[in-house]
Amino acid sequence: MIAAASIAPMASASGVTALAFNQSTYNGTACGTITGAYVTVTEGGVPKAGESVTVSLSGGYTFSGGSTTNTEVSGPDGRVNLPAIVVPAAGGPATLTGTSGSETATAAISATSNSAAYVYRTPGQTSTASVPAGSIPLNAGWFLYGTTLYDWQGNHNYSSDVLSYSPGWVYTNGTNHIAVTTSTGQNYIFRQGGATITPAVPNGSTPLNSGYFLKNGTLYHWEGNQIATNVAATSTGWTYTNGVDQIAARLSDGKSYIYRYGQSTITASVPDGSTPLDAGYFLKNGTLYHWEGNQTATNVTATSTGWTYTNGVDQIAVRLNNEKSYIYRYGQSTITASVPDGSTPLDAGYFLKNGTLYHWEGNQTATNVTATSTGWTYTNGVDQIAVRLNNEKSYIYRYGQSTITASVPDGSTPLNAGYFLKNGTLYHWEGNQTATNVGATSTGWTYTDGSDQIDLTKPQSC
């Protein structure tokens, strides 16, 4: 419940009718009620009685009688007192909309959900996450409830004051980890099953991936032993090359560098002002460079995004302005992709053009593609992509292997790691892992302890 906080209606010009809710936002909890809400009718700033006002609710919220609308006449004080607002199990955002004649007013509603959390891992392992109802799934088994960070096993001795956290999946030295900043500016590295690390970085630093932090243009590793000042740009996402966390940066003087944990700083042999991508690549004015300077492409118009590390080699896919596509792999010859001119580079060596999916070797294709998974999935040592076709069927394509028809309903949306979602139900492509009433899922690929993993929440009934 919330107490009604009286807020004076906004004054209007003389003779003009106006509506105003007594709060701009009403907060509640799943399966609870919100009371004390009212809307006031004024004319020329003076409360006006006898006006019919209709208030409607969105987002699955209802009034106590079960209706989503309520119509009443304003009293002597100009008010229409609303019935209790019932919050659904899913909680979430909603809007109150009041109308009287041609006048309207709106107010927001926000409520935590009554969601239970789960971790799904192939093959066939479902774990109930011991986290509070309403927690938000991050990646790699981490959940956030309000400002408190939990791992899926229910440990919450990490932080109860999280302000920001590193995005995506980081799996360093065989352990899932996440970096956070608290509202007091303190930074931490949390590793599942391991000790909490207090990074040797200044308070208020922004957590990046791979154990790096940034504050006021200065880059720090959590141990404090790798530093760059005047940083203007960094690569995004996690890059773990040859078993070492890595980040690329460009400084304000235009110079570019590669920072690798526990190793010497590398001066990238690329032109000043280059943009750091992932996997050690840089781009400037349409020319692609590797940090060693020994792999280049000119007239680049598009690249794959994120980190792809296939068969132990950093990889990037590009399309040039002549519409040709290529694969660049560190230390290896340039590969001319056997795909049509003008194809769009995806991740993991796949390309898409006019609804047709190609692998760079040209030996795996699908036509009439309407949706694909995003990011890199490398399951059991094989690049993988999931697609849905315009006949609503779904498939898994794995490099060098037969096409897999996914045992999921027609019209499912491909996620990562072989999972699909339709109408709130989660399926694995084999059909042996399902969850109904799914509210939210983690994003990106997580591969923990040899298993593809997805984290999710399910709103519970009131």
Strand pairing partners for 397?
A: 385
Q: Is 442 within a domain?
A: no
Q: Is 33 within a domain?
A: yes
Q: Output phi, psi for 450, to 5 deg.
A: 80, 15
Return d(Cα 457, Cα 194) in angstroms, integer. 25
Query: Does the predicted model carry a pTM greater than 0.85?
Result: no
Any residues with CB less than 8 A from the CB of 380 and at least 6 apart, and which?
Answer: none
Return d(Cα 452, Cα 441) in angstroms, integer. 14
Q: Is 22 within a domain?
A: yes
Place of tokens 């990046």: 208
Q: Is 96 within a domain?
A: yes
| 270-275 own/partner pairs: CB under 8 Å, 24+ apart | 274/250, 275/233, 275/250
Cα three-residue angle 420-424-430, rounded to 5 degrees: 30
Return d(Cα 442, Cα 117) in angstroms, integer. 11
For residue 396, CA distances in Å to 40, 241, 383, 434 come to 57, 27, 11, 17
Q: Is 129 within a domain?
A: no
Per-position DSSP letters for 115-169, written without gaps between them: EEEEEEETTTEEEEE-S-TTPEE-STTEEEETTEEEETT----SBS-EEEE--S-
- Our count of domains for the chain comes to 1
For residue 16, CA distances in Å to 12, 26, 44, 53 come to 6, 27, 5, 16
Q: What is the pLDDT along the chain (462 residues), one digit of tens a residue?
A: 343 333 334 444 445 689 999 999 999 988 899 999 999 999 988 999 999 999 999 989 999 989 999 999 999 999 999 999 999 887 888 999 999 999 999 999 988 777 777 777 766 666 667 777 777 877 667 788 888 888 777 666 677 778 877 766 666 666 777 778 888 888 887 777 666 777 778 888 888 777 778 888 888 877 766 578 888 988 776 666 667 777 888 888 988 887 877 776 777 878 888 888 777 788 889 888 877 776 678 888 988 776 666 667 777 888 888 888 887 777 676 777 778 888 888 877 788 889 888 888 776 678 889 988 776 676 767 777 888 898 998 888 877 777 778 888 888 888 777 788 888 888 877 776 667 778 778 776 666 666 777 777 777 778
Q: What is the CATH number of the domain that holds 100?
A: 2.60.40.10
Print the domain residue range for 88: 17-112
The pLDDT score that the predictor gives to residue 13 is: 42
Return d(Cα 179, Cα 221) in angstroms, integer. 11
Q: Is 54 within a domain?
A: yes
Q: Is 359 within a domain?
A: no
Q: Output phi, psi for 452, to 5 deg.
A: -65, 140
Among candidate residues 376, 362, 256, 259, the one with its CA nearest the CA of residue 314: 376
Q: Is 321 within a domain?
A: no
